[in-house]
Structure 1
Amino acid sequence: MSALLYIILSTFLISLSVWVAVLFLFFKEKFLSKIVLFLVAFSAGTMMGGAFLHLLPEAVEVIGSDNFVLFATVLVSFVFFFFMEKVFHWRHCHKGHCDVHTFGYMNLLGDCIHNFTDGLVLASAFLVDIKLGFVTTLAVALHEIPQEIGDFGVLIYAGFKKKTALIVNYLVALTVVIGGVVGYLASFYIEEAIPYLLPFAAGGFIYIAASDLMPKIREETSFKRSINLIFVFVSGIALMFVLKFF
C-alpha cells in the first residue's frame, strides 16, 4: 500500500472523530463533564509520549548530528502554534468581550487551520516511516475526540442549530484530509524538508498538550480525581512507550 493511500485513510478516519464525539453528547451532561476531562488527560499523555518517544527520536535518527537545527525547529513550531492560537481564536475579542456569533465562526476558521496542520504532520510521519504514521494517527485521533465535543458545544452556544453545527463541524474536520494530501504532494518539491517536519510536529504536540490540555487537568481541585487524572495521563504516555516495541 502506498504512503498516499495510508495518508488518505488515516486522515479520513480522524475526520470521523466528529461522529464519535457526537455519540458522547447523548450522555447526560453531568456524566459527560466527568469523562471529558479523562479523555483530555489521556490525549495529553499520548501527545507528549508521541512527541518525546516517537517523533523526536525519529527526527534525531533522520537528521543526524545537527541537534541545534532540530531543537530550533521544535522551538519555532511551539511559537508558531502559539501565534496561530492567538490570531485565530482571540482575534475578535476586545477588552474581555467576544461576540458569540463571531467567536463561532472564528472557532471554525481556527479548526480549519489546526486540522490542515494535523494533515501535514501525518503526511510527514507516513513519508518517513509507516509505523510512525500510525502512532501519530493514534495520538491525533485521541486528541480530536474531546476537542470535537468542545467545538460542537461552542457552535451551539454561538447560535448554530444542532444539525447545522454537526454538518459544518464535519466539513471542517475534512480539512485534515486536504492537509495530508497537500503534504504528500509538496514532498516532491521540498523533499529535503521532510525530516524537519518531524520536530515541527513534535513542537506542535508539545504545545497542544502543555498549553491547551494540561491546564484543564490542573484546574481539578479534588485530590482523588487529580490522582486519577495523573494516572490516566501517565497511561497515555505508557501506551506510546509500549508502541515503540511494535
Structure 2
Amino acid sequence: MNIIYPLVSVLIVSLISIIVALPFLIKKKLSHGTLLFLLSISVGVLLSTVFLDFLPEIFMHVEEHDHGHNIIGAPLIILLGFLLMFVIEKFVHYHHDKKCENGNCGHGHAYNLAPINLIGDGIHNFLDGLVIAGAYAVNITLGITATISIIFHEVPQEIADMGVLLYSGMSRKRALYFNFLSAITAIVGALVGILLIGRLDGFTEFIIPFAAGNFIYIAATNLLPQLHRHCKLKDSLIHLFAILLGIAIIIVVTVYSPHIH
C-alpha cells in the first residue's frame, strides 16, 4: 500500500476543522438551511459508501477467502462498530448530564464541558484515521469513498464542536487551536492503521465492516433525526435532493476511480 494516499487524506480531513472554523473567527455562521443541506448530503454519502462500497467488499472477501462459511463474522464486526459509537456518545453525554445535575451548566461552569467534548471528538477522529488507512489497504476507490464520507460528516460535526467550545467560554482562537489538536488524532489513527496493516493479519478484514457499523450509526442516529425535525414539504424535498446528491457523488467515485489494490 502506498502510504501517501491515507496520509494525504487524513491531513485533508484534519484541515477541515480549520476551514470550517473560519466563519467563527469572523463572527459569521452557516445558515441553518445550509447546515441541514450538508447534513443531508452526508446521509447520502455515508449510506451509499456502506451499501455500494463497504458491503460488496465485505461479501466478496467472505466468498473468496472464507468460501461463504464464516457468514456471521463480518456482521458481528458491523454491530461492534455500531455499538462502539453508541458507547462513545453515551460517555460524552453522561458526563455532560452529570455536570448539569450538579448545577454546572451555566456559562460560568460550562468550561468543564470542553475537555469531555475534545476527548470524545479525539477518539472519533482517531477511528476515522484507522478507517481511512484500512480502506486504502483494500483499494484506492474504497479509500477515496471512505475519505469523502468522513469529510462530509466532519463538516457539521466540527461546526457543532466549535459551538460547544465557544459556549464553554473559550476564545475563538483558543477554540480553533484545541479543535485542530483534536482533529489531528486522525493522523495518529492513520499511522497506527498503516503499522497494523503490515503487522496484524486480518486488520483490513476487521476495519471495513467496523467502519460500516460506524457510518450506519452516524447516519441513522445523528443525522437523519435532525432532518426529521423539519417536516415542511419544501424542506423535505430539498433534503431528499441533497441525499440523492450524496449518493450520486459516491456512485461517480466508485465507477470512475481506479480499483487498484
* Aligned residue in 1 for 2:73: 69
Would you say the 8 A contact 2:92–2:117 is kept in 1? yes
Would you say the 8 A contact 1:42–1:236 is kept in 2? yes
**SS of residue in 1 equivalent to 2:199:** coil
- How high is the TM-score relative to the length of structure 1? 0.93
Within a 5 Å distance, the mapping from 1:6-25 to structure 2 comes to 6-25=5-24
Structure 2: gaps spanning 5 or more residues: 257-261
The one-letter code matched in structure 2 to 1:180 is: A
Structure 1: gaps spanning 5 or more residues: none
Deviates more, 1:139-148 or 1:107-116: 139-148
Of 81, 85, 89, the residue aligned with 1:81 is 85
- Cα drift, residue 238 of structure 1: 2.3
CA–CA distance in structure 2, aligned partners of residues 92 and 68 of structure 1: 36
1:173-218 superposed Cα distances (whole Å, 9 cap, x missing partner): 1000000000110122212232121111001000011111111111
* Aligned residue in 2 for 1:188: 198
* Aligned residue in 2 for 1:214: 224
- How high is the TM-score relative to the length of structure 2? 0.88
CA–CA distance in structure 2, aligned partners of residues 228 and 27 of structure 1: 27
CA–CA distance in structure 2, aligned partners of residues 135 and 236 of structure 1: 11
Q: Does 1:178 align with 2:188?
A: yes
CA–CA distance in structure 2, aligned partners of residues 203 and 36 of structure 1: 24
1:224-246 superposed Cα distances (whole Å, 9 cap, x missing partner): 11221121112212221232211
- Cα drift, residue 91 of structure 1: 2.5
Would you say the 8 A contact 1:118–1:176 is kept in 2? yes
The one-letter code matched in structure 1 to 2:94 is: W
* Aligned residue in 2 for 1:132: 142
CA–CA distance in structure 1, aligned partners of residues 28 and 230 of structure 2: 20
The one-letter code matched in structure 2 to 1:240 is: I
CA–CA distance in structure 2, aligned partners of residues 209 and 49 of structure 1: 11
Q: State percent identity of aligned pairs.
A: 35
Deviates more, 1:213-222 or 1:85-94: 85-94
CA–CA distance in structure 1, aligned partners of residues 27 and 236 of structure 2: 23
1:6-34 superposed Cα distances (whole Å, 9 cap, x missing partner): 111110010010122124445854x5222
Number of residue equivalences: 244
The one-letter code matched in structure 2 to 1:68 is: I
Q: Does 1:199 align with 2:209?
A: yes
Highest Rg: 1 or 2?
2
